[in-house]
Amino acid sequence: MINVTKTFLPPIDEYQHHVQRAWKNEWLTNRGELVLELEENLKKYLSVSNIIITNNGTIPLQIGMKLLGKGGEIITTPFSYVATTAAIVWENCTPVFVDIHPEYLTIDETKIEAAITPKTTAILATHVFGNPCHLEAIEAIALKHNLKVIYDAAHCFGVTYNQKSVFDFGDMSTCSFHATKLFHTAEGGAMFCNDAELFKQLYYSHNFGHKTNIDFHGIGINGKISELQAAMGLAVLPHMDLILTERKKVVDYYNLHLNFSKLKGLRIRENTQWNYSYYPVIFETESVLLEVEQKLNALKIFPRRYFCPSLNTIEFTNGKPMPISESIASRILCLPLYVGLSTPELDLIIATINTNQ
Ligand SMILES: *Cc1c(COP(=O)(O)O)cnc(C)c1O
């Protein structure tokens, strides 16, 4: 069976080495030695000055919405994973969708201003598939209208824009370390923020708001990650170079051998060092996609329809029509991409797509 992705598992003795440290410390959570070490290693690896690692990539979105959304209208993308919109609604804010750019697939920055109202408090945009949004334009709009910017950077591990980590942009960024993501801790995530005051609030928020054992800074939640998950992160991180090199080979192979006369790929934004996190292809019609998907499934190959449906169409969002996002969502398929995908497997996937579109 070939799935859209396959979790990278480090050699088990490397994981056990770190797990043994937790045993020796007799300490399993509440920001123990392994969590602190993983944060330090990630700061170095990603060249960021601040990070708080969390129990998943959704809680940071909810914390961001709670602190910066403040119950207002949130300008957001309809083309993302459901967690992006759900975090807005969960925190009693209102999603206001803005359609996406047809090639970059990120929120269309030229349409944001028309969606701003006196109730708008923030922009929550996704660097979808690790492709950065138009960072300069969004920053300018946010400054002009006094809005907060939160980036769902769940797909962006290691991505840089103009040689700077994408996690460094906006008021805050979030990442996911879920097992299906590029770097993982089985379940996990992170928040990034350069403003010292906001960083403190994010930190308190992920630990119940604790100031001391008996005193609180305000309302918080449990966003802490355990030592066992940090052990996985510490075991995976030294393999990132291999992970990126092997994934690049798969991406280059698809780029070279897929027939792009009718098919379209993702356009990566200029000045971006991308991370090979996903390989989406866009078919001419949904019926061609369904036909190809069926043929692949018959061969036990399971690509995924990331991201379908367009989030403005799901029942709890009440969104206006978003023609570009809805059209892309119905025609886009993410092809298998992981370390260890073999050339014969790739050839089979490519032949099936090339002969059926
Ligand atoms: C995976 C993902 C999330 C959620 O992350 P979890 O770690 O699974 O909670 C949020 N947004 C996007 C765009 C994602 O792909």
pLDDT tens for residues 112-151?
999 999 999 999 999 999 999 999 999 999 999 999 999 9
Return the ligand 1 atom nearest residue 58 CA.
9
What does the alpha-carbon distance between residue 95 and residue 150 come to, in Å, rounded to a whole number?
Answer: 13
Give, for ligand 1, the residue of 79, 124, 150, 152 to mutate: max count of ligand atoms closer than 8 Å to Cβ. Answer: 152
Q: Which CATH number fits domain 240-354: 3.40.1180.10, 3.90.1150.10, 3.40.250.10, 3.10.129.10?
A: 3.90.1150.10
What does the alpha-carbon distance between residue 158 and residue 179 come to, in Å, rounded to a whole number?
Answer: 16
Return the ligand 1 atom nearest residue 178 CA.
7
Digit-coded pLDDT (tens) for 257-314: 999 999 999 999 999 999 999 999 999 999 999 999 999 999 999 999 999 999 999 9
Domain segments of the chain as ranges? 3-238, 240-354
Distance of CA 56 from the midpoint of ligand 1 (Å): 8
Distance of CA 17 from the midpoint of ligand 1 (Å): 28
Q: Are 141 and 109 in contact (CB under 8 A)?
A: yes
Q: Are 341 and 2 in contact (CB under 8 A)?
A: yes
Digit-coded pLDDT (tens) for 316-336: 998 899 999 999 999 999 999
Identity of residue 248: K
Ligand 1, atom 5, residue with closest C-alpha: 57
Structure-token match 């770097």, residue found: 183
How many Cα atoms within 13 Å fall on the side-chain side of residue 297? 9
Domain 3-238 fold: Aspartate Aminotransferase; domain 2 (3.40.640)
Name every protein residue with a CB atom under 6 angstroms from any ligand 1 atom: 56-58, 80-81, 83-84, 126, 152, 154-155, 176, 178, 189
Share of residues in the chain with pLDDT > 90 (%): 99
